[in-house]
Amino acid sequence: MGFFDLFKKKKDSVEPSAQPSQSPSEVKPEVVAQPEVQSDVAESQHEESAPAQAVETQPAQEQPSVEEDSPQEQQLRSEELSAGLEKTKAGFFSKLARAIAGRSTVDADVLDDLEEVLITSDVGVETTVKIINRIEARIARDKYMNTSELNSILRDEIASLMEESHSSTKDMGLEVKPGMPYVMMVVGVNGAGKTTTIGKLAAQLKKAGRKVYIGAADTFRAAAIDQLAVWADRAGATMIRQEMGSDPASVAYDTLKSAVANGADVVLIDTAGRLHNKIGLMNELTKIRNVMSKVIPDAPHEVMLVLDGSTGQNAFEQARQFTQATQVTSLTITKLDGTAKGGVVIGISDQFHIPVRYIGIGEGIDQLRMFDRHDFVKALFGEKK
Ligand SMILES: Nc1nc2c(ncn2[C@@H]2O[C@H](COP(=O)(O)OP(=O)(O)OP(=O)(O)O)[C@@H](O)[C@H]2O)c(=O)[nH]1
Ligand SMILES: [Mg+2]
């Protein structure tokens, strides 16, 4: 099957919903102030901080753990992924099809055009050069490559450039251990999709039977806290908040204390994206981390940077800045549903050597996918023939 056939083979079964089935703004959170159990890990400096107000958005009812999807569910998920990446796929393949039209062998001209296709698909210059070099090496070895083989070779090379992101699909890939909550701090610029991603992730963890606590450490705007409360409510997670303007580190501290005292499995900490310079960002993130490690010595277990995939090259720049400001251990690339710039996933994963944990393919609560490099190339290129 050639590129044209692949490109023509349109997915018609599942379309990504542009709107969430129920927008967070339509849901009124049921806020029940409930005093948290105090644990004895409190440090004196924090005891004077404003008392945490726990928002129990839904009775914490344990649900049976969901292990693996059925083959039908897997099929549906891969169709949804394919539909979510439709714009990237269409952009890439139409350019690629144009680049190889009327040519049978992969020669220098085809490689030049392929280079341009990859760069204009936001894969990034460094990663593009790497891909081209690998293909050149294969041609040098095999002496000849026809253009119909290029598809399969590109797929293999692209998959091998990306980091493996999960060792298991259990608990959305997080290594949740009994006895101590798994703590994830979520960072990223304003509007990248941090709060939405936390809401979606909390919902999926809850579905897998986990007790989830969310810390509203983005204290810049009251609306930010309220938005998170709506997501926590929908997900069935407990949110710990303080007033707007309070110290984010203090909120993070209160959240961890409550989570430990109440036997939570996972803690997700939302942070603000509105920090005007790198020093300010670094100081704030360092402060939050230090305070958390006073409650759980190895917390945070994960610092996840959320990047808006539709910003293309800008997402690379944000990754650069955040990796300089703090130790980032995983990535989520959001908004891949509305953009043809999905190639950023390939370049960012390769250049920063940070695994992409999740991708966002819509605003809906279930439109966060665990990233799997093989599923990703399959969704972009279609099944291997
Ligand atoms: N289409 C689409 N929209 C998304 C996705 N993820 C987030 N969004 C939208 O992006 C917008 C910003 O998302 P937020 O979660 O508020 O972003 P944030 O990083 O928390 O922003 P601040 O709190 O302002 O720092 C919202 O309108 C979300 O619905 C996605 O995967 N696809
Ligand atoms: Mg937010």
| E strand spans, the chain | 33-34, 53-56, 182-187, 212-217, 238-241, 266-271, 302-308, 330-334, 356-360, 368-370
- Nearest of 14, 379, 357, 304 to residue 163 by alpha carbon: 357
Interval between CA 133 and ligand 2 midpoint (Å)? 40
pLDDT of 204 over the 90 cut: yes
Interval between CA 356 and ligand 1 midpoint (Å)? 17
Give the environment of ion ligand 2: residues with CB less than 5 A: 194-195
Mutate which of 363, 367, 369 for ligand 1? The one with the most ligand atoms within 8 Å of its CB, which is 363
In ligand 1, the atom with minimum distance to the C-alpha of 221 is: 23
188 touches ligand 1 (CB under 6 Å): yes
268 touches ligand 1 (CB under 6 Å): no
**What tokens does 225 get?**
């806290």
- Count of other CB atoms within 10 angstroms of residue 36: 19
360 touches ligand 1 (CB under 6 Å): yes
pLDDT at 288: 95
Task: Say which residues have a Cβ less than 8 Å from residue 163's Cβ, sequence separation at least 6.
Answer: 349, 353, 354, 355, 356, 373
* Percent of the chain scoring above 70 in pLDDT: 81
**What tokens does 289 get?**
């981390």
> What are residue 300's phi and psi, to 5 degrees?
-75, 145
More confident position, 198 or 19? 198
Torsion, CA 378, CA 186, CA 127, CA 311, rounded to 10: 90
Q: How many whole angstroms separate alpha carbon 177 and alpha carbon 174?
A: 9
**What tokens does 72 get?**
């039908």
Number of H helices, E strands in the chain: 14, 10
Q: Report which listed range, 149-163, 164-178, 326-340, is most confident.
A: 326-340
Q: How many whole angstroms separate alpha carbon 174 and alpha carbon 166?
A: 8
pLDDT tens, position by position, 126-138: 999 999 999 999 9
In ligand 1, the atom with minimum distance to the C-alpha of 199 is: 15
Q: How many whole angstroms separate alpha carbon 309 and alpha carbon 343?
A: 9
Q: How many whole angstroms separate alpha carbon 3 and alpha carbon 97?
A: 6
pLDDT at 29: 36
pLDDT of 59 over the 70 cut: no
218 touches ligand 1 (CB under 6 Å): yes
Do the beta carbons of residue 192 and residue 308 sit within 8 Å?
yes
pLDDT of 279 over the 60 cut: yes
pLDDT tens, position by position, 299-309: 999 999 999 99
pLDDT of 52 over the 50 cut: no
Interval between CA 194 and ligand 2 midpoint (Å)? 5
Q: How many whole angstroms separate alpha carbon 10 and alpha carbon 74?
A: 19
225 touches ligand 1 (CB under 6 Å): no
Query: What mean pLDDT do residues 365-382 have?
Result: 88
pLDDT tens, position by position, 230-278: 999 999 999 999 999 899 999 999 999 999 999 999 999 999 877 667 7
Q: How many whole angstroms separate alpha carbon 139 and alpha carbon 106?
A: 8
| E strand spans, 7-115 | 33-34, 53-56
pLDDT of 372 over the 70 cut: yes
In order of 197, 218, 241, 330, the CA distances from 187 in angstroms are 11, 10, 17, 10
